[in-house]
C-alpha cells in the first residue's frame, strides 16, 4: 500500500491520472511517488495510485497456475489520506512478466482516466498502458536487469533456473517494447544511457531527477561531528555493497581511531552484523528514521559514502549534500551526475583501499571538506531542488498529454 506524505490530501476533481507503481513502495520509489502525486495535484489533476499486490500478501487477487480454470484476477480499492488506491492481482503470479499484464481490472481502471504515469525502479509497471495503446510517461531509475541482478544472485537454485528460462527470456523483449512505446523520465544521465542501450533504438527520454526539498535539508550551523561518516538507504539490498564500506572503515580506523560510521535505513543482515562486530563499536545501525531525525543525522555527518555496485541516482547522497556534506562514491552510475571529483566529493573504484584513502584525505583536511560541503549544497540547490524538477516533470506531462490541461495556471 502506498502511504502518502501526511501533507498530501487529495481534494482535486480534475482529470484522473493513473500512477502505476510498486505495492508497498519504499526508499527511492516511495520518495519519487510522493513527488509525482504532489505535482499532479498541484496541476489540478486527481492522482489514482495502482499497483500489483503480490500473491504472497493477498492470495485472493491473483490466479496461480493451479487455479487457472477456477478463478479470475481481482482488485481492491481503498482511500489512504484521500488518495484513491487500487491493489490488483495477476494471472500466473509465479512469472514476473505477468504482474502488470493489462487484465480486466487494469483496463477498467485505465478507461476511467485520461493521463497515465508509471513510477518505479524500472519501466515494467507501464505495461498495462502500453498494452492498452495509451500514451504514458514512465519515471524510472534503471533497466529491469540492473534493478534486480544482485538480488537474483540470492535466489534458490530452482528459482534461478525458472528465472533464467522464463523471466529472463520474456521480460527483455517486453521492456524494449515499453521503452519504445512511451515517453521516459530518467532519473540520471546514467539511467538515460542505459535505457537507450536496452531499447536498441532511440527512446523518447528526458532527465528528471528525484528532487530534494532544500527548505528541509539544510546545513546545521553547529557543524558536523568530526570523523563521523554515514550511509543512508536500503543497505540490506546487495546492490548497496555495504560490506565494502565496512571494510574501508576498518582500514581508516588504523590511522584515524576516532572514525565512526552510521548506517541508516534498514535492519542489518546477519552478514553485516558479523562484519561490523570486528570494528569495536565504531558502527551504529540506526534503522529507518522519520524525516526530522534523518535530517538531524545527515547534518551531523562529516562525510557521506556511497559504496554501491549500481545506483540509478541515490537520493540519500543528494539529501546529505543539501545538508552541506561532501560525498565519496564508487563509480556506480547516478552519483556521477553530482559527485564532481575534487569539487563536491570524490569518485573511487569499488576497492576498500581506494575508498579508505579518499575518506581519510577529507577527514584529515577539514578545510577542504568544508569547501566541498559548500559546493555540494550549491549544486543540489541549483540543479536538484524541488522547484527545478517540478518544472521539468510538468513540462513533460503537458507535452505528452496536451489535451488534458485543466486550465490551472502552473508556475513552471
- Do 59 and 131 sit in the same domain of this protein? yes
Phi first, then psi: what are they for 23, rounded to 5°?
Answer: -65, 145
pLDDT band at 411 (very low <50, low <70, confident <90, very high): very low
Distances (CA, A) of 101 to 56, 141, 177: 18, 21, 13
Boundaries of domain holding 276 = 228-383
Tens-place pLDDT, residues 253-284: 999 999 999 999 888 888 888 988 888 889 99
- Domain presence at residue 9: no
pLDDT band at 407 (very low <50, low <70, confident <90, very high): very low
- Do 303 and 177 sit in the same domain of this protein? no
- Do 176 and 293 sit in the same domain of this protein? no
- Do 194 and 239 sit in the same domain of this protein? no
- Domain presence at residue 253: yes
Is 46 a residue whose pLDDT tops 80?
yes
Is 106 a residue whose pLDDT tops 50?
yes
Q: How far apart are CA 229 and CA 245, in angstroms?
A: 10
What CATH number is given to the structural domain containing 321?
3.40.50.2000
- Do 282 and 186 sit in the same domain of this protein? no
Tens-place pLDDT, residues 167-195: 999 999 999 999 999 999 999 999 999 99
- Do 265 and 341 sit in the same domain of this protein? yes
- The pLDDT assigned to 192 comes to 95
pTM comes to: 0.90
Number of folded domains that form the chain: 2
- Domain presence at residue 262: yes
Say which residue, 75 or 5, is predicted with more confidence: 75
- Do 398 and 349 sit in the same domain of this protein? no
- Do 293 and 190 sit in the same domain of this protein? no
- Do 193 and 269 sit in the same domain of this protein? no
Q: How far apart are CA 81 and CA 71, in angstroms?
A: 32
Q: How far apart are CA 307 and CA 305, in angstroms?
A: 6
Is 406 a residue whose pLDDT tops 80?
no
Is 405 a residue whose pLDDT tops 60?
no
Q: Please compute the mean of the pLDDT values over residues 340-347 and round it to a whole number.
A: 97
Amino acid at each position: 500500500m502506498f502511504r502518502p506524505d501526511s501533507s498530501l490530501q487529495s481534494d482535486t476533481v480534475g482529470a484522473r491520472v493513473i500512477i502505476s507503481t510498486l505495492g508497498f513502495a519504499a526508499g527511492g520509489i516511495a520518495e519519487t511517488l510522493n513527488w509525482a502525486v504532489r505535482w499532479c495535484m498541484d496541476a489540478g489533476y486527481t492522482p489514482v495510485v495502482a499497483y500489483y499486490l503480490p500473491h504472497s500478501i493477498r492470495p485472493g487477487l491473483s490466479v496461480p497456475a493451479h487455479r487457472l480454470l477456477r478463478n479470475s484476477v481481482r482488485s481492491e480499492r481503498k482511500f489512504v489520506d484521500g488518495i484513491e488506491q487500487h491493489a490488483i492481482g495477476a494471472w500466473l503470479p509465479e512469472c514476473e512478466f505477468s504482474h502488470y499484464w493489462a487484465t480486466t481490472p487494469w483496463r477498467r481502471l485505465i478507461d476511467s482516466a485520461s493521463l497515465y504515469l508509471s513510477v518505479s525502479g524500472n519501466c515494467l509497471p507501464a505495461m498495462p498502458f502500453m498494452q492498452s495503446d495509451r500514451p504514458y510517461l514512465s519515471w524510472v531509475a534503471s533497466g529491469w536487469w540492473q534493478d534486480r541482478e544482485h538480488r537474483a544472485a540470492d535466489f534458490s537454485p530452482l528459482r534461478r533456473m525458472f528465472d533464467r528460462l522464463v523471466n529472463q527470456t520474456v521480460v527483455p523483449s517486453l521492456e524494449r517494447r515499453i521503452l519504445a512505446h512511451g515517453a521516459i523520465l530518467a532519473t540520471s544521465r546514467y539511467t538515460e544511457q542505459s535505457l537507450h542501450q536496452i531499447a536498441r533504438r532511440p527512446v523518447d527520454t528526458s532527465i528528471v531527477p528525484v528532487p530534494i526539498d532544500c527548505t528541509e535539508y539544510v546545513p546545521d550551523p553547529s557543524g558536523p561531528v568530526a570523523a563521523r561518516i554515514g550511509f543512508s538507504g536500503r543497505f540490506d539490498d546487495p546492490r548497496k555493497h555495504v560490506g565494502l564500506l565496512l571494510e574501508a572503515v576498518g582500514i581508516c580506523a588504523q590511522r584515524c581511531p576516532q572514525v565512526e560510521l552510521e548506517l541508516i535505513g534498514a535492519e542489518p543482515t546477519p552478514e553485516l552484523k558479523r562484519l561490523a562486530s570486528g570494528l569495536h563499536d565504531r558502527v551504529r545501525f540506526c534503522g529507518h528514521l522519520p524525516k526530522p531525525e534523518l535530517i538531524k543525522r545527515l547534518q551531523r555527518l562529516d562525510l557521506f559514502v556511497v559504496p554501491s555496485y549500481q545506483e540509478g541516482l541515490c537520493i540519500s547522497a543528494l539529501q546529505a549534500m543539501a545538508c552541506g556534506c561532501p560525498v565519496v562514491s564508487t563509480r556506480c552510475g547516478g552519483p556521477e551526475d553530482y559527485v564532481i571529483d575534487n569539487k563536491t566529493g570524490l569518485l573511487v573504484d569499488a576497492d576498500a583501499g581506494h575508498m579508505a584513502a579518499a575518506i581519510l584525505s577529507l577527514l584529515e583536511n577539514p578545510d577542504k571538506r568544508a569547501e566541498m560541503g559548500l559546493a555540494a549544497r550549491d549544486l543540489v540547490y541549483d540543479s536538484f531542488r524541488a522547484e527545478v524538477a517540478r518544472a521539468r516533470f510538468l513540462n513533460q506531462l503537458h507535452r505528452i498529454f496536451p489535451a488534458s490541461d485543466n486550465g490551472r495556471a502552473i508556475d513552471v
